């Protein structure tokens, strides 16, 4: 198999980025799109030259893709993935994997039973400053990673929440800043720090009275390696300030990335305005490298479109995983950890106690 027959489910904002990549990548034979809104499906069909469907079952049967990319609202990810797996079709799913652990478990079980691949989008793992940090941590350059800090001070306005009826409501989104904007950095934090032992958390809605869900959340994490973590994630600062993940090691050295500056971009609506950069690098003997890294990252930002580049890289990895029968870069098991992290913060806030890992779905 040289190319993989591909289809897109969910022709909305981020769907545009996926469709463009599915059309361009040499690994992809892009055959069809599906949206329950027939006008959106038709518009994508005309724009990308593929067949249009309004029902996932019809798409799977008639277009016979080998892989689908799922870009529906988060609580609807599971149904599409399970339907695809039952038809023997692999799925790359937008973040978060799902809004509940029960959905994650059902997706993992369906994919395991069918022998299909399941991947979760976390394209910031492919940012060069992030890969530099991962390589340095894995090489032992900060010793044992013992303190991980994720902080986001960003902004969403009423128009953002009004842009789609599913946003900002418990039933149709499953949560707020934790579920929608934070999965990228929650994933990086656990990727850098390792397995989680327990989480305590709080959430609040500080200045978005027109949504039901949280605009701000805090968490304290104890990792299995004895290290600690902290999360402050908020959409309440106008204008948005920054989003960072910093990792400190037991030899005293630190590495960090500013993944986003200003209000985090809205895929399919705005462009990434500032390059992701390493903003902290105190590894002994490497202190002088930070300006060089930053210059490289600024130069790259001028020649690639970061809004589409890293998505395309992750889709390419997933299609190669399907073609070569190997695990994708970010697996369903990885995606479930992020859902467990925000589930634990909600549970801790509700039950006023630390929540132990591994975390099971509640009935
Ligand atoms: N990785 C990233 O940076 C990133 C960026 C933006 C969005 N996302 C994720 O992508 C997902 C979609 O977000 P969006 O902003 O594109 O939302 P959106 O509302 O713009 O698009 C969702 C689309 O799914 C369609 N849809 C809903 N139910 C369907 C069904 N059962 N079958 C087929 N189509 C259906 C809707 O009609 C809509 O067109 C979310 O999970 C979001 O978190 C990820």
**Which residue's CA is minimally distant from atom 15 of ligand 1?**
13
**Phi and psi angles of residue 211, each rounded to the nearest 5 degrees, phi first:** -120, 155
Q: pLDDT means per 10 residues in the chain (363 residues)?
A: 93 97 98 98 98 98 98 98 98 98 98 98 98 98 98 97 97 98 98 98 98 98 98 97 98 98 85 93 96 97 93 98 98 98 98 97 83
- The phi-psi region of residue 10 (left if phi > 0; otherwise alpha if psi is between -120 and 50; otherwise beta) is left
**Which residue's CA is minimally distant from atom 7 of ligand 1?**
14
pLDDT at residue number 90: 98
pLDDT at residue number 263: 82
How far is it, in rounded angstroms, from Cα 166 to Cα 174?
9
Q: What are the structure tokens assigned to 88, written together?
A: 């023997």
CA of 7 to the centre of ligand 1 (A): 14
| Ligand 1 residue neighbourhood (C-beta within 6 Å) | 9-15, 34-37, 40, 56, 71-74, 76, 94-95, 121, 123, 164, 180, 267-268
Burial 134-152 (b: 16+ CB within 10 A, else e): bebbeeebbeebbbbbbbb
**Contact (CB, 8 A) for 65 and 7:** yes
Q: What three-state secondary structure class fits 120?
A: strand
pLDDT at residue number 284: 96
Residues 6+ apart with CB under 8 A from 107: 77, 78, 81, 82, 85, 93, 97, 98, 118, 332
How far is it, in rounded angstroms, from Cα 176 to Cα 178?
5
Q: What are the structure tokens assigned to 181, written together?
A: 């904007």
Atom of ligand 1 nearest to the CA of 40: 39
SS (H, E, C) 202-218: EEECCCCCCCCCCCEEE
**In sequence order, what are the beta bridge partners of 116?**
none
How far is it, in rounded angstroms, from Cα 241 to Cα 153?
5
pLDDT at residue number 56: 98
pLDDT at residue number 1: 61
pLDDT at residue number 270: 85
Helix (H) or strand (E) holding 350: helix 332-351
Q: Which of 53, 72, 122, 154 most suits a substitution to test ligand 1, by most atoms within 8 Å of the C-beta?
A: 72
């Amino acid at each position: 198999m040289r190319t993989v027959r591909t289809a897109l489910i969910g022709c909305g904002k981020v769907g545009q980025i996926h469709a463009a990549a599915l059309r361009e990548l040499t690994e992809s034979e892009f055959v069809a799109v599906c949206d329950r809104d027939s006008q959106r499906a038709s518009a994508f069909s005309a724009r990308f030259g593929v067949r249009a469907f309004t029902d996932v079952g019809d798409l799977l049967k008639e277009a016979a893709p080998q892989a689908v990319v799922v870009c529906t609202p988060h609580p609807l990810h599971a149904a599409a993935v399970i339907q695809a797996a039952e038809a023997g079709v692999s799925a790359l799913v937008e973040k978060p994997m799902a809004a509940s652990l029960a959905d994650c478990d059902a997706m993992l079980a369906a994919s395991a039973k069918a022998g299909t691949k399941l991947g979760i989008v976390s394209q910031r793992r492919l940012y060069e400053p992030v890969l530099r940090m991962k390589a340095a941590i894995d090489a032992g350059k900060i010793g044992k990673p013992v303190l991980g800090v994720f902080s986001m001070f960003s902004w969403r306005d009423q128009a953002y929440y009004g842009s789609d009826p599913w946003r900002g409501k418990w039933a149709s989104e499953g949560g707020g800043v934790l579920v929608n904007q934070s999965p990228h950095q929650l994933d990086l934090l656990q990727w850098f720090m390792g397995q989680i032992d327990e989480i305590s958390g709080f959430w609040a809605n500080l200045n978005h009275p027109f949504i039901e869900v949280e605009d701000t959340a805090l968490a304290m994490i104890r990792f299995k390696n004895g290290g600690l973590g902290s999360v402050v994630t908020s959409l309440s600062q106008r204008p948005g300030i920054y989003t960072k993940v910093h990792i400190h090691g037991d030899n005293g050295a630190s590495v960090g990335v500013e993944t986003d500056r200003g209000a985090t971009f809205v895929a399919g609506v705005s462009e990434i305005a500032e390059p992701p950069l390493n903003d902290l690098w105190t590894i002994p003997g490497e202190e002088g490298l930070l300006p060089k890294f930053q210059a490289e990252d600024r130069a790259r930002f001028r020649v690639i479109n970061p809004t589409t580049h890293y998505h395309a890289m992750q889709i390419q990895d997933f299609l190669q995983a399907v073609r070569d029968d190997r695990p994708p870069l970010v697996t369903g098991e990885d995606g479930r950890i992020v859902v467990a992290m925000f589930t634990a913060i909600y549970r801790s806030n509700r039950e006023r106690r630390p929540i132990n890992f591994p975390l099971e779905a509640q009935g």
